[in-house]
């Protein structure tokens, strides 16, 4: 990031430092001397001072950072959106593990639930994305030499996270995200130049939300499917009876994540399966995502499940059943 900032400054772009965490790494500190630093506000990015200064480019480290409670915005990426809206360019850093839609995958692979995340749309709106790649072994060597966390002992959780298998998986994720960004640029170019073949009917992904258990995993999976297909994504909840405070909290969290990812949310009333079927047909849904049924074998025998009714009635719709987050291995 700082190398790129130097290149841009040499090309005449007025560049200032908004916020950066050197982690006491001397080589990083050496790269800061040629830049003006905007004084931080309450130990966070001083948005007002940068807006008043109005440079061509501002360096903002750690896009996923959670701000102090007294800050104007909860997250640093929200600060960045304010600067962009004011016409100020931003150069920032982001770990692939902090992308919201990858949160479940990262937790499954590393055993660590990343709390500080960034909506994928922020990456999608970036004018330029550069992948900073390093082999897992080289990164582990840097960790063991003390280059990553100089002057302190690496914690047990950090050591577990920096296992070679974890790093290889995260590296692959980062490469896929970078490749996806290239694909999006190519699609935009083909549209602009009118060289594309006629587009097929757009895919529509429908996510079925349940108030009895979290649907966060389904929402992230559905969003990524929609991105790959360049299709619409809709999250649907059917209210088929009264629900308690616990269920309302689950739904509120689901809707909050859907809104964060830019997914349309719809609440309906009626009998569960028929209402979902009618809505899927009305909206020309092509892909449907539903959680794994929480029913016993006897319940399945006594009454058809919602899933079986969906399969029977939506013969032209691909249905993906996602395992519960807490499902035991092999189920």
Which domains does the chain carry? 2-190 (3.40.50.300), 204-322 (3.40.50.620)
Mean pLDDT of 298-326: 75
What pairs with residue 75 in β-bridges? 66
Residues 159-185 have pLDDT tens digits of 888 899 999 999 999 988 887 777 666
**In the prediction, which pLDDT does 196 show?**
44
pLDDT band at 155 (very low <50, low <70, confident <90, very high): confident
Write down the mean pLDDT value for the chain.
Answer: 87
Q: What is the pTM of this model?
A: 0.69
Give yes or no for residue 202 having a pLDDT over 90.
no
Contacts of 108 (CB under 8 A, 6+ apart): none
For the chain, count helices (H), then strands (E): 14, 9
**In the prediction, which pLDDT does 158 show?**
85
Residues 66-98 have pLDDT tens digits of 999 989 999 999 999 999 999 999 999 999 999
Core vs surface per residue 216-248: b (16+ CB within 10 A) or e: bbbbbbbbbbbbeeebbbbbbbbebeeeeeeee
Mean pLDDT of 311-322: 91
Q: List the strands of the sheet with 264-269, edge to edge.
A: 264-269, 232-239, 204-209, 287-291, 318-322
Give yes or no for residue 269 having a pLDDT over 50.
yes
CA distance 33 to 25: 14
DSSP assignment, residue 241? S
CA distance 221 to 263: 12
**In the prediction, which pLDDT does 25 show?**
86
DSSP assignment, residue 124? H
**In the prediction, which pLDDT does 300 show?**
45
Helix/strand/coil for 207 = strand
Mean pLDDT of 101-127: 91
DSSP state letters, 72-105: SSSBHHHHHHHHHHTT-EEEE---GGGBGGGHHH
Mean pLDDT of 275-296: 86
**In the prediction, which pLDDT does 39 show?**
87
CA distance 38 to 117: 25
Mean pLDDT of 287-298: 73
Distance between start and end Cα atoms, the chain = 44
State the number of CA atoms in the 13 A half-sphere of 258 facing the CB.
27
Residues 221-245 have pLDDT tens digits of 999 999 888 888 999 999 988 889 9
Q: Tokens for 192, please give them.
A: 């602009």
Give yes or no for residue 200 having a pLDDT over 50.
no
Give yes or no for residue 247 having a pLDDT over 90.
yes
CA distance 167 to 112: 13
């Amino acid at each position: 990031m700082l190398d790129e900032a130097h290149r841009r400054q040499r090309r005449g772009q007025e560049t200032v430092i908004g916020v950066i965490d050197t982690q006491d790494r001397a080589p990083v500190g050496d790269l800061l001397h040629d830049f003006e630093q905007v004084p931080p506000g309450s130990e966070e990015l001083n948005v007002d001072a940068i807006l008043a200064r109005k440079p061509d480019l501002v360096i903002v480290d750690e896009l996923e950072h959670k701000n102090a409670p007294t800050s104007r915005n909860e997250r640093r990426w929200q600060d960045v959106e304010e600067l962009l809206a004011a016409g100020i360019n931003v150069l920032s850093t982001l770990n692939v593990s902090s992308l919201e839609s990858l949160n479940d995958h990262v937790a499954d692979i590393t055993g660590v639930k990343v709390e500080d995340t960034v909506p994928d749309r922020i990456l999608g709106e970036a004018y330029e994305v550069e992948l900073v790649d390093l082999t897992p072994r080289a990164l582990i060597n840097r960790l063991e030499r003390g280059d990553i966390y100089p002057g302190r002992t690496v914690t047990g959780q950090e050591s577990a996270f920096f296992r070679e298998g974890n790093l290889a998986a995260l590296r692959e994720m980062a490469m896929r995200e970078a490749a996806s960004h290239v694909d999006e640029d190519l699609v935009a170019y083909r549209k602009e130049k009118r060289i594309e073949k006629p587009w097929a009917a757009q895919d529509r992904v429908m996510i079925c939300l349940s108030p009895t258990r979290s649907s966060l995993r389904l929402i992230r999976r559905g969003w990524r499917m929609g991105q790959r297909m360049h299709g619409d994504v809709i999250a649907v909840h059917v209210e088929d009876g009264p629900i308690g405070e616990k269920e309302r909290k689950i739904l509120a969290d689901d809707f909050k994540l859907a809104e964060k990812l830019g997914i349309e949310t719809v609440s309906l009333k009626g009998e569960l399966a028929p209402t979902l079927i009618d809505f899927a047909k009305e909206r020309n849904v092509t892909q449907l995502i539903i959680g794994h049924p929480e029913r016993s074998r006897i319940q399945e025998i006594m009454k058809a499940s919602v899933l079986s009714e969906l399969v029977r009635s939506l013969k032209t719709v691909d249905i993906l059943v996602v395992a519960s987050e807490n499902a035991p291995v092999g189920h």
